[in-house]
């Protein structure tokens, strides 16, 4: 019997465990995309019931209410009613509610019920409810609500058994379930909160409103003095882990691709094709892939902190500070991701519901020092800053690196503050953020989360970076140097001419033509500036021989120029892929132009000042 | 008295949520979240800087509310009697 799959939609309040239930039902058979025209994530998955019935599950965005103006909640509302363009109305709505938080979640259940669509209630987190001594009289609850109620434990294998059996018995359009009509006793009247109170009084006994464990942890985690200290310590651990776990993997991938490139190079005849394969394809793809481990390590920690419920606490602690500079506590998570790479950072701003706060976060995210800037800083600091101890404890090189990180953060605060002052928008932008119960993160959910983010990152970015790397290779290879050329080949290429043309505007910053030229590939991926400088100064061994390259740099330009270049990299509008993601996430070229424009002005001004001052003092 | 005036750990009952301008979406959202007359409410924690935002418990849920948001909620302080 072949029939169309049953379309089931999962809805519920944020933090009801809906996504964990979705993961349990569909496993890895998920498709993540966007709803057309908005940056609201659309997650779809499939599974088959024991009787062989195919079910298509849609994980709708979490919502507190259906008559709101937030894009997420509007999508949920329209899809449920079958009004969303290109989305058929679901055959069955599974409303998910946290059994430990029914006072809030049942109101939403009643609101969904008023739509008069076939629905069932999944009482999720029944394990936590039992542990806390919460008793739910399920038959009574089902009778009062006028809809079937099943218990689920989304974090346990087989925890959705009752739900799957119920779906199996459902035939579209579900006649047995259609009794969840507006006429049912529960949905009568407008006072949803009053109805919830009545239902709870009859069907649920709750010994204590909150989890004693949460109260204990929060006494420390949200303490006015201890809270910020714990947060600082957690952040320190995360960054340590990113650099000590991610960095070696990144280097290994870079080396691996270099080795593959040289293997391929040996097999190919000398000429442009070989150079394209080894330099552009393997070099370029290796560079992009190389970021993946650091990004995944950072995301692993972000997912663990997120799943455990700690990140909203961090947002709570930092909100006041962030508001002062025109951001919101919710900006903290995307800005944290931006230290690995601005691309996932910009994508992560989706969790900020307020459009103005989201745009402000997107605009300052690229100022966080991403891992691609480190190779450039390492090269210039190693070559130009003396290895000296000052004030007895501080290493001068370390201080310069710290100053560059701090410049990014302070710059972001200044930019946020200025944008806030310039903005004509005087409306109030709400925080209204739920702090969920603490939970032990589940391996399955972390793994699926990592897989999703890694795949999105690769799919979206290998395309653009690859194309750009090939283009960069092309302009620095052609035209070939004439017979008897004495200068490096690159001097005769399109890139050489471009570099000399670029030097004109960049001369006041103290950049020579080679430095100006290195800004072009840096626009594709910042760390390629190192390789570009190595190429133009034709250092044997390429960028692997950092010491020789550093030595060559100190002979070719001054400390003032080097400082100016570092400051440029701290603020410059880079890279290309970040701008592409800003375009994708904001759906506006205006945001891209503003972002590029302000960073260019800030970087130019800061480098100019740095160079002109440094020239006179050093 | 306002929710912002409530001292930490004290329980009070919500009297009402005021719209500070016509059709105030933040006030409406607060009502949706359970800030309705007669509901017990408690300030659980305050953030380190300027005690803003507040962590407020309503029902079994905890919400971080900025002071400007909490200002909309008027409460009657009958303290522990509400429990």
**What would the pLDDT profile of A327-366 be if each residue is shown by its tens digit?**
999 999 889 888 878 888 898 888 887 888 999 999 999 9
Comparing CB atoms, the residue among A193, A209, A222 nearest residue B55 is: A222
Radius of gyration, CA atoms only, chain A: 28
Measured between CA atoms, the residue of chain B closest to residue A129 is B60
Closest among A582, A532, A79 to A279, alpha carbons compared: A532
Q: Alpha helix (H) ranges present in chain B? A: 25-32, 67-70
Q: How far does the CA of residue B28 sit from the closest CA of chain A (Å)?
A: 9
CA angle A185, A189, A193 (to 5 degrees): 95
> What tens digit of pLDDT does each residue of A432-487 get?
899 999 988 888 889 988 887 787 667 656 666 667 667 777 877 778 777 777 77
| Per-residue pLDDT at A179 | 43
Q: Which residues of A touch B28 (CB under 8 A)?
A: 68
The torsion region of residue A487 among left (phi > 0), alpha (psi -120 to 50) and beta comes to beta
Q: What is the mean pLDDT of residues A91-97?
A: 96
- Touching B: A residues 23-82, CB under 8 Å: 64-65, 68-69
pLDDT higher for A317 or A27? A317
Cβ-nearest to A65 among B32, B50, B52:
B32
Q: Which residues of B touch A210 (CB under 8 A)?
A: 57, 60, 62
B60 and A100: CB-CB below 8 Å? yes
Q: Tell me the CA distances in angstroms from A144 to A180, A204, A385, A527, A564, one per residue in order.
A: 11, 12, 74, 63, 71
Quick check: A552 and A538 in contact, CB under 8 A?
A: no
CB-based contact, A103 to chain B, within 8 Å: yes
pLDDT of res. A529: 78
Q: Which pLDDT band holds residue A541 (cuts at 50, 70, 90)?
A: very low
CA distance A141 to A113: 14
Tally Cβ neighbours within 10 Å of residue A252: 12
Tens-place pLDDT, residues A5-60: 899 999 999 889 898 899 999 987 777 777 766 667 888 999 999 888 899 999 99
Q: Is B63's pLDDT higher than 80?
A: yes
Binned at pLDDT 50, 70 and 90, residue B83 comes out as very low
Share of chain A above pLDDT 90, in %: 40
Partners of B62 on chain A (C-beta within 8 Å) are 210, 434-435
Mean pLDDT of B3-12: 92
Is it the case that residue A279 has pLDDT exceeding 80?
no
Which whole number is the average pLDDT over A378-396? 83
Residue A474 contacts B, CB cutoff 8 Å? no
Give the residue from B79, B66, B82 showing the smallest Cα distance to B7: B79
Q: Does A212 touch chain B (CB under 8 A)?
A: no
Predicted local confidence at residue B78, as pLDDT: 66
- The minimal CB distance from B53 to the residues A107, A206, A431 is found for A431
Res A307 pLDDT > 60: yes
Beta strands in A427-509 (DSSP E): 433-434
**ipTM > 0.90?**
yes
A479-502: average pLDDT: 78
pLDDT at A343: 84
Mean pLDDT of the A566-589 span: 88
With a cut of 60, say whether residue A580 has pLDDT above it. Answer: yes
Cβ within 8 Å, pair A210-B60: yes
Q: CA of A206 to nearest chain B CA: how many angstroms apart?
A: 10
* Residues 6+ away with beta carbon under 8 Å from A392: none
Does the distance separating the beta carbons of B60 and A193 come in below 8 Å?
A: no
Residues of B in contact with A103 (CB under 8 A): 34, 59-61
Q: What is the pLDDT of residue A456?
A: 67
Lowest mean pLDDT among A413-422, A509-518, B71-80: B71-80
Which pLDDT belongs to residue A175?
43
Half-sphere exposure (CA, 13 Å, Cβ side) for A368? Answer: 24
Per-residue b or e along A137-171, where b marks 16 or more CB atoms closer than 10 Å to that residue's CB: ebeebbbbbbbbbbbbbbbeeebbebbbebbbebe
What mean pLDDT comes out for the span A283-310?
78
What pTM was computed for the model?
0.83
CB atoms within 10 A of CB A182: 12
- Summarize pLDDT for A504-519 with one digit per residue, the tens: 999 999 998 888 888 8
Q: What's the average model confidence in pLDDT over B17-43?
A: 91
Of A544 and A573, which is predicted with more confidence? A573
- Which of B48, B52, B53 shows the shortest C-beta gap to A228? B48
Q: Which of A107, A224, A312 sits opposite B46 (nearest CB)?
A: A224
User: Is the minimum CB–CB distance between A222 and chain B shorter than 8 Å?
Assistant: yes
Is A409 a residue whose pLDDT tops 70? yes
Q: Is there a contact between B47 and A224 if contact means CB atoms under 8 Å apart?
A: yes
pLDDT tens per residue across span A227-265: 999 999 998 888 777 767 877 777 777 778 778 877 877
Q: Between these two residues, A428 and A206, which has the higher pLDDT value?
A: A206
pLDDT given for residue A542 in this prediction: 46
Residue B64: list chain A partners with CB under 8 A. Answer: 312, 315-316, 319, 329, 431-435
User: What pLDDT sits at residue A12?
Assistant: 95
**pLDDT score for A543:** 47
Question: Which residue is closest to A330 within chain B, CA to CA?
Answer: B64
When pLDDT is averaged across residues B34-47 and rounded to a whole number, the result is 93
Contact B64, A433 (CB under 8 A): yes
At residue B17, φ and ψ (nearest 5 deg) are -110, 125
pLDDT, average across residues A181-206? 75
Residues in chain A: 618
User: How many CB atoms sit inside 10 A of residue A88's CB?
Assistant: 12
Test the A interface: residue of B32, B50, B56 with most A CBs within 10 Å? B32
Q: Is the pLDDT of residue A181 over 60?
A: no
Kindly report the average pLDDT of chain A as a whole number.
Answer: 84
Residue A174 pLDDT class (50, 70, 90 cuts): very low
Contact A431 B66 (CB under 8 A): yes
Question: Residue A196: phi, psi to the nearest 5?
Answer: -60, -45
Beta bridge partners of A615: none
Residue B62's pLDDT band (boundaries 50, 70, 90)? very high
Chain B nearest CA to A194, separation (Å): 9
- The alpha-carbon gap from A420 to the nearest alpha carbon of chain B, in Å, equals 18
Mapped onto helix, strand or coil, the DSSP state of residue A10 is strand
Instruction: Tell me which chain B residue has its CA closest to the CA of residue A193.
Output: B34
Closest A-chain CA to B47: A317
Q: What one-character-per-residue DSSP string does A316-331 give?
A: HHHHHHHHHTT--GGG
Query: What pLDDT sits at residue A350?
Result: 84
pLDDT bin (cut points 50, 70, 90) of residue A98 is very high
Mean pLDDT for the stretch of residues A138-147 = 95
Lowest mean pLDDT segment, chosen from A215-224, A349-358, A363-372, A604-613: A349-358
Determine the residue of chain B that is closest to A432 in CA distance. B65
Place of tokens 């100006």: A516
């Amino acid at each position: 019997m072949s029939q169309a799959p049953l379309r089931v939609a999962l809805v519920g309040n944020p933090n009801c465990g809906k996504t964990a239930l979705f993961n349990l039902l569909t496993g890895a058979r998920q498709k993540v995309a966007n709803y057309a025209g908005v940056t609201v994530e659309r997650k779809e998955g499939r599974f088959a019931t024991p009787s062989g019935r195919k079910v298509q599950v849609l994980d709708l965005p979490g919502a507190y209410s259906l008559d709101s103006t937030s894009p997420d909640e509007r999508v949920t509302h329209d899809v449920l009613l079958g009004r969303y363009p290109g989305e058929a109305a679901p055959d069955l709505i599974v409303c998910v509610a946290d059994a430990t938080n029914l006072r809030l979640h049942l109101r939403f259940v009643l609101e969904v019920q008023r739509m008069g669509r076939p629905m069932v209630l999944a009482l999720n987190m029944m394990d936590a409810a039992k542990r806390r001594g919460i008793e739910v009289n399920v038959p009574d609850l089902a009778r009062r609500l006028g809809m079937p109620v099943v218990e689920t434990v989304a974090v346990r294998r087989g925890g959705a058994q009752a739900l799957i059996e119920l779906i199996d018995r459902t035939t579209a359009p579900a006649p047995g379930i259609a009794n969840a009509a507006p006429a049912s006793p529960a949905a009568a009247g407008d006072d949803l909160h009053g109805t919830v109170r009545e239902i709870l009084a009859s069907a649920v006994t709750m010994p204590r409103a909150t989890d004693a464990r949460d109260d204990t942890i929060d006494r420390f985690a949200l303490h006015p003095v201890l809270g910020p200290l714990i947060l600082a310590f957690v952040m320190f651990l995360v960054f340590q882990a990113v650099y000590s776990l991610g960095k070696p993997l990144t280097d290994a991938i870079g080396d691996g691709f270099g080795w593959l490139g040289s293997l391929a190079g040996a097999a190919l005849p000398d000429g442009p094709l070989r150079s394209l394969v080894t330099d552009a394809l393997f070099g370029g793809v290796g560079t992009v892939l190389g970021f993946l481990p650091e990004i995944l390590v950072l995301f692993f920690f972000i997912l663990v902190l997120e799943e455990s419920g700690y990140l909203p606490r961090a947002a709570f602690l930092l909100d006041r500070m962030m508001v002062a500079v025109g951001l919101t506590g919710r900006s903290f998570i995307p800005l944290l991701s931006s230290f690995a790479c601005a691309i996932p950072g910009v994508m992560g701003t989706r969790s900020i519901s307020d459009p103005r706060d989201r745009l402000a976060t997107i605009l300052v995210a690229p100022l966080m020092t991403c891992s691609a800037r480190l190779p450039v800083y390492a090269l210039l600091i190693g070559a130009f800053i003396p290895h000296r101890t000052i004030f007895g404890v501080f290493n001068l090189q370390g201080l310069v690196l710290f100053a560059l990180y701090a410049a990014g953060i302070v710059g972001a605060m200044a930019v946020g503050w200025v944008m806030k002052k310039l903005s004509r928008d005087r409306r109030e932008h709400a925080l209204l953020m739920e702090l969920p119960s603490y939970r032990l993160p589940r391996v399955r959910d972390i793994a699926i989360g990592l897989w999703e983010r890694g795949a999105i990152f690769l799919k979206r970015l290998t395309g653009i970076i690859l194309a750009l790397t090939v283009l960069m290779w092309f302009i620095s290879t052609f035209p070939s140097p004439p017979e008897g050329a004495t200068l490096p080949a690159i001097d005769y290429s399109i890139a050489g001419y471009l570099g000399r043309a670029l030097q004109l505007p960049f001369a006041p910053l103290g950049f020579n033509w080679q430095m100006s030229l290195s800004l072009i590939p840096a626009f594709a991926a910042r760390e390629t500036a190192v390789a570009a400088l190595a190429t133009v100064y034709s250092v044997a061994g390429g960028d692997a021989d950092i010491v020789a390259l550093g030595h060559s740099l100190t002979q070719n330009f001054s400390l003032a120029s080097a400082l100016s270049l570092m400051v440029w990299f701290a603020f410059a509008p880079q890279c290309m892929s970040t701008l592409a993601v800003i375009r994708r996430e904001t759906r506006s070229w205006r945001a891209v132009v503003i972002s590029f424009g302000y960073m260019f002005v800030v970087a130019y001004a800061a480098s100019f000042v740095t160079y002109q001052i440094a020239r006179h003092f050093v | 008295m306002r929710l912002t005036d409530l001292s930490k750990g004290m329980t009070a009952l919500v009297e009402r949520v005021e719209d500070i301008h016509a059709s105030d979406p933040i006030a409406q959202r607060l009502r949706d979240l359970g800030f309705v007359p007669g509901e017990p409410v408690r300030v659980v924690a305050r953030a380190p800087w300027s005690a803003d935002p507040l962590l407020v418990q309503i029902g079994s849920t905890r919400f971080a509310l900025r002071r400007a948001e909490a200002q909309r909620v008027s409460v009657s302080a009958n303290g522990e009697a509400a429990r």
